[in-house]
Amino acid sequence: MHRSIILAFACVVVACGPAREPAAPAEMSHAHGGGSYNLTGIVSNMPSRLNPDIERMLTRLRTLTAPFQNFQAAGSAGWGTKITDCFSDPQQGGMGFHYGNTGLIDGVVDIDKPELLLYEPLANGQLKFVAVEYIVPYTAWTSPQPPRLFGQNYHRNDAFGLWVLHVWHFRENPSGIFTDWNPRVSCQYAN
């Protein structure tokens, strides 16, 4: 029952987008870095505004999730549950489809275990891996401080009782690597 409720919350939060708290000025500089991307979509030149520890964490995440560029590999590894249809916002951009590993929606914050993988639909019918999303239900988080990864606080969504953090590590996001929506992601080819 608890897992069903969490999954339902995750679906609604992703659909509606989490309520955003303003970033503190110190975090603002970290959240809006760019980077130069090669043809595979992997950041080849991390922005100098991210400290070396965060750069190492992002490199680790890219390495761990690189096999999920193959959608079938992601499903075989446990991220096969379709959480949402393709999401986009006319002003802010897109997120794509969200596929989850529901066994990971347990309140544990672990860089190695993002709860959701985000995929953009392509013209050829394939799905392109673009980002991960970490989610934590309030009911599973006992600390008075929000969950935190990559030097970023998760975003609150009081309406649904979840903490959320996006990481655009396989698709450049001019709005920032840790922002919710990406203007370079489209649902144009979603069926």
For residue 135, with 0-12 CB atoms within 10 Å meaning exposed, 13-18 middle and 19 or more buried, which class applies? buried
Instruction: Tokens 């995440």: give the residue.
Output: 61
Asked whether 79 and 64 are in contact (CB, 8 A), the reply is no
Domain ranges in the chain? 2-167
Ordered DSSP codes for 45-64: E--TTS-HHHHHHHHHHHHH
pTM of the model: 0.77
Locate 86 and state its tokens: 């393709």
Per-residue pLDDT of the chain (191 residues; tens, 9 = 90+): 334 434 444 444 444 443 333 332 222 222 333 333 333 333 333 344 789 999 999 999 999 999 999 999 999 999 999 988 999 999 999 999 999 999 999 999 999 999 999 999 999 999 999 999 999 999 999 999 999 999 999 998 775 678 999 999 999 999 999 999 999 999 999 98
